[in-house]
Structure 1
Amino acid sequence: MTAALERYAFALAPLAAAALWGGMYVVSKWGFALIPPVTLGFLRVALGATVLWLVVVGRGGAPPTRAEWPTFAALGGWVTLTVATQFVGTELTSASQGSLLTVLTPVFTVALGALVLDERVTAAKAGGMTVAGVGTAVVLAGQYELASIAAGNLLGVALLLVGSAAWAGYTVWGLRAVRRHGALRAATYSSLASVPLLGTLAVGELWYLGVSPAALPLTVESVGAVLYLGLASTAAAWFLWYKGLAYVSAGTVAVFFFAQPVVGAALGAALLGEALGSGFLVGGALMAVGIWIVSRERADSVAESAGPTAE
């Protein structure tokens, strides 16, 4: 594979991450019924971080230096805020609200990229984002009664908004860490840094609910949910998301997030027997066009200035 093709392939890595996150919503329907949301989030990240760390160690990677840990600790804070608010917010709201509100992440990411990183929002990027956003809205409108989306739990809605903004923060402030330390290292140690924080929140949640950790169900469904969330939607997806940042801007990576609810709807139909709305094909096509427009905006200059990318 030529260097140009390899760079383009890795620039599309966030699309694979979004597809894995689309499956996360289907799996979460099983998980939340068995394990409280913050505790499930802790198990997810603990497993994913452990797997990433084993990969780093297996490849002979050195542990972070004292100078590196503050960066990873800060990113771990973004991870903690994202997972806790996203999972609790999803628990308090409906699938339609969760799907709609989480796709605001690209909007937050582009805005933060412009404010924090001085990324230029080109006409093509803005147009592609708009087309992809309209496509996602069409898919959701076909799946749900949009009039009922605003009628849910206001606290849940607020938490989902915070979660969307927090993931945008993890993306934008993680860009320099990816360029300096590599995608695998940044994803691994930011995840590890969040484990004690999420663990503390999980202990508080179980205490508040009066649930003993020993009483959590050990079933095929609960183990399967944790394995998918930890291995696929955390270890693999977070690495792929950061791998994309090694080659393109935060704003360009953000557009791939629009694929998440489309994949979720398709998997819901395939695995849960849910009916696809009439606008699924039209909305999916619009989303694909929007992603294609923005993906052509990949910045070779960014790739040339990138830090370690061999990971």
Structure 2
Amino acid sequence: MTTTLGRYAFALAPLAAAALWGGMYVVSKWGFALIPPVTLGFLRVALGAAALWLVVAGRGGVAPPRDEWATFAALGGWVTLTVATQFVGTELTNASQGSLLTVLTPVFTVALGALVLGERVTATKAAGMALAGVGTAVVLAGRYELASVAAGNLLGVGLLLVASAAWAGYTVWGLRAVRRHGALRAATYSSLASVPMLGVLAGGELWYLGRSPADLPLTVESAGAVLYLGVASTAAAWFLWYKGLEYVSAGTVAAFFFAQPVVGAALGAALLGEALGPGFLAGGALMAVGIWIVSRERAEPPDESPDPTAG
């Protein structure tokens, strides 16, 4: 039996996921300049799904029963919508827009969790979410010119809004699968389901651009970008994100998403020499306190315990 301490420890898994996603801000500076966005998204998910499947297969995992295929196909659709709109939207918008719109994901997740799952939004949770959001906004305001937020592509803004809502959908509608099959299997089969969907979109993108797979550059930078995006920000991060759902509500997991742009800012300063801005420490502290307040809410045991023999 998992102890209460263990449940709270697993609840911190989404924080690790958000930290890994924070690295995407740095990696994107290499990847998007070399590989078209949807194609890069396809390569990312294909590699991530393969890595997850190797782990499942190594643990003796088996395919989900037929009556669950529709569930994983639907989750794969959420993945496809998230990745395609996020990557194209990121290419069309400026950095400040992308960062600010990304933090709407927790808001969408809490709203969907309440509407779809009937999760309670307590005053404590609302206060913690608000504080974390303010802290993240302070960090971003110190990093970017706020005037540049209105200067980007409206289509890109719309696509990033769709991406935020789609990831909230993947989180909320994935909760049942996570608690029935476990985080590893749920992340694996939903990723595998999205590979052919993204493959079709990537093929259409390359056809539209008049390019072929053979035209894609094979360099240290492109290989490194795909490797990080596939193994770290997909295989590891998606498993960690879903791991949190085994023990706490979707709304509680969502709060950890606020850490993503803060980690991205820190990595941008460390690896790219970018300025952090005067509000980084204060904003980061507010974000951390807000997440701590939300995470203090009582961990919820799974409605359906994951199969202990599952891969």
**TM-based fold match above 0.5:** yes
Give the structure 1 partner of residue 219 of structure 2.
Answer: 219
What CA distance in whole angstroms lies between the structure 2 residues aligned with 1:245 and 1:53? 20
Are the equivalent residues in 2 in contact too, given 1:11–1:298 (CA < 8 A)?
A: no
Mapped to 2, the partners of 1:151 and 1:215 lie a distance apart of 32
Query: Secondary structure of the equivalent of 1:118?
Result: coil
Change over 3 Å in CA distance of 1:205–1:298 after alignment to 2: farther
Deviation (angstroms), 1:96: 1.0
Structure 2 Cα separation of the partners of residues 182 and 258 of structure 1: 24
The residue number in structure 1 matching 2:33 is: 33
Q: CA deviation at 1:307?
A: 2.0
Matches within 5 A, 1:44-193: 44-193=44-193
2:293 corresponding residue in structure 1: 293
CA distance in 2, matches of 1:47, 1:304: 30
- Measured in 1, the distance between the counterparts of 2:61 and 2:212 equals 37
Q: How big is the shift at 1:294?
A: 0.2
Aligned to 2:230: 230
Looking at structure 2, the residues matched to 183 and 177 of structure 1 have their Cα atoms a distance apart, in angstroms, of 8
Distance 2:223 2:189 in 1: 24
Query: What is the rounded CA distance, in whole Å, between the counterparts of 1:190 and 1:26 in structure 2?
Result: 26
User: Counterpart amino acid of 2:135?
Assistant: G
Amino acid at match of 2:272: L
Per-residue Cα deviation, 1:124-173 (whole angstroms, up to 9, x for no partner): 00000000000000000000011211221000000000000000000000
- 2:30 pairs with 1:24: no
Contact 1:249 1:298 in 2 (8 A): no
Shift of residue 26 of structure 1? 0.8
Distance 2:124 2:304 in 1: 23
- Equivalent residue letter for 1:196: P
In structure 1, distance between residues paired with 2:173 and 2:2: 30
**Which digits, 9 at most, give the CA deviation of each residue in 1:158-189, with x for residues without a partner?**
00000000000000000011011110000000
Q: TM-score, normalised by structure 2?
A: 0.97
Aligned counterparts of 1:3 and 1:279: Cα–Cα separation in 2: 38
Give 1:68 deviation, angstroms: 1.2
Corresponding residue for 1:307? 305
Q: Which amino acid aligns with 1:303?
A: P
Q: What is the CA–CA distance in structure 2 between the aligned matches of 1:162 and 1:16, rounded to whole Å?
A: 24
Cα deviation, residue 2, structure 1: 7.0
Q: 1:309 to 1:138 in 2, by over 3 A?
A: farther
Shift of 1:298: 3.5
Asked if the contact 1:14/1:240 (under 8 Å) is kept, the reply is yes
Residues 88-134 of structure 1 deviation map (CA, whole Å, 9 limit, x = unaligned): 00000011111100110000000000000000000100000000000
> Secondary structure at the residue paired with 1:211?
coil
Distance 1:131 1:121 in 2: 15
Q: What's the % identity of the aligned pairs?
A: 87
User: 1:42 is matched by which residue type in structure 2?
Assistant: F
- Paired with 2:302 and 2:86, the residues of 1 have a C-alpha distance of 35
Query: How large is the RMSD of aligned CA atoms in angstroms?
Result: 1.2
Deviation at 1:309, TM superposition (A): 7.2
Cα distance in 1 for residues equivalent to 2:37 and 2:195: 15
Contact 2:47 2:230 in 1 (8 A): yes
Distance verdict in 2 for CA 1:34–1:296, change over 3 Å? same
Name the structure 2 match of 1:258.
Answer: 258
| Structure 2 residues without counterparts, runs of 5 or longer | none
Contact 1:247 1:298 in 2 (8 A): no
Instruction: Name the count of aligned residue pairs.
Output: 309
Give the Å deviation of 1:304: 5.0
Q: Contact 1:134 / 1:287 at 8 angstroms: preserved in 2?
A: yes
Whether the aligned pair in 2 keeps the contact of 1:98 and 1:160 (CA below 8 Å) is yes
Structure 1 Cα separation of the partners of residues 44 and 144 of structure 2: 28
Q: What is the alpha-carbon distance in structure 1 between the residues aligned to residue 241 and residue 147 of structure 2?
A: 33
Q: Distance in 2 between matches of 1:180 and 1:306?
A: 5
